Amino acid sequence: MEKITSFTIDHLRLLPGVYVSRKDMVGDRVVTTFDIRMTRPNFEPVINTAELHAIEHLGATFLRNHKEWGENILYFGPMGCRTGFYLLLNGDYESKDIVSLLKEMFTFIKDFEGEVPGACAKDCGNYLDINLPMAKYIAKRYLNDVLVNITNDRLVYPN
């Protein structure tokens, strides 16, 4: 069996950043999948499920309600390895195209106060596994350490 594309990326050289993971044709439209890499794989601890879950709820809510981007958001959810998220957009985009959107989203998450949207038994299958304070910490760290002054080596996968 052939390796899928995401398993051909050298995870030992991969830094936190924003990467185009793949582009797929769906009918006559391009769907761009982004790798929102928040921790350095195999060097840093992974993100615990409770904060990953909180970021997912807040990020998905923010993105789908965004005035400019909302109609092109197809999916936002965690990677199985728990080092980041996938964001699927309807359209042909590059990493640099979404940096300002991600800055807005992670600012929203780091500053969020109140009840996490969808964090109740009626709306979520695992509503007790949400950690807002740690989600805010991780969002702030990613925003400040990666997104604020992002460099090209954090926008293109390493060779």
Distance CA 116, CA 130 (A): 8
Q: Are 85 and 79 in contact (CB under 8 A)?
A: yes
- The verdict on whether residue 120 carries a ligand-binding annotation is no
Identify the sign of the CA torsion 112, 114, 116, 118: negative
Q: How far lies 40's CA from each of 15, 48, 55, 147, in Å?
A: 5, 14, 18, 15
- The verdict on whether residue 53 carries a ligand-binding annotation is yes
- The verdict on whether residue 11 carries a ligand-binding annotation is no
Q: Which residues are annotated as a binding site?
A: 53, 57, 124
Annotated binding site for Fe cation: which residue ranges? Answer: 53, 57, 124
